[in-house]
Structures are given as C-alpha cells and as structure tokens.
Amino acid sequence: MQVTVKLYALFRWRLFREAVREYPPGAAVSDVARDLEITETEIGIVLVNGLHADLGHILQEGDLVSLMPRIGGG
C-alpha cells in the first residue's frame, strides 16, 4: 500500500520533506520509522492524517504519516 510520509526538522534535514512510500498491508507507524532508520526514541510526535497517534498505529492505504522529533523549551 502507498503511504505519504512527511518529516520535520532534523528528520527532514537528514532525509526528505515529503515522499510517497510503499509498505505491506498491516504496516504500523513503527515500520515506517524503522524503514527510515529513525529510532523510536528520537520521535516526539506522530500524526496520522493530522491526528495524534502512536507508533503502534496500523496504517491504511493512502494515509499521511507525519513524524516529528522531540522538542522542548522553557
């Protein structure tokens, strides 16, 4: 199935801004992270179709996955 992946900040600098990628049916967000060699501890925010999700979220054909690094301030 095809999934659009959007990356932010250091993930984007390292890889790409947006790309359509192929994954087998039943793939989860964690499979996308593994495919891109982004470690789970680096990830701060996951969105699937604009909604907050976790790494175990199972993806569907045509989903938009956004991966963002951990951020902080204060």
Q: Is 8 in the site for other proteins (CB under 8 A)?
A: yes
Q: Which is nearer to other proteins, 59 or 66 (CB)?
A: 66
CB of 60 to other proteins, least distance (A): 19
List of E strands, 28-74: 43-48, 51-52, 64-69
25 three-class SS: coil
Class of residue 3 by CB neighbours under 10 A (exposed 0-12, middle 13-18, buried 19+): buried
**How much is the CA Rg of the chain, to the nearest whole Å?**
11
- Sole window of 1-9, 20-28, 30-38, 55-63 interacting with other proteins (rule: CB under 8 A): 1-9
* Binding region for other proteins (CB under 8 A): 6, 8-10, 12-13, 41, 44-45, 47, 50-52, 66, 68-74
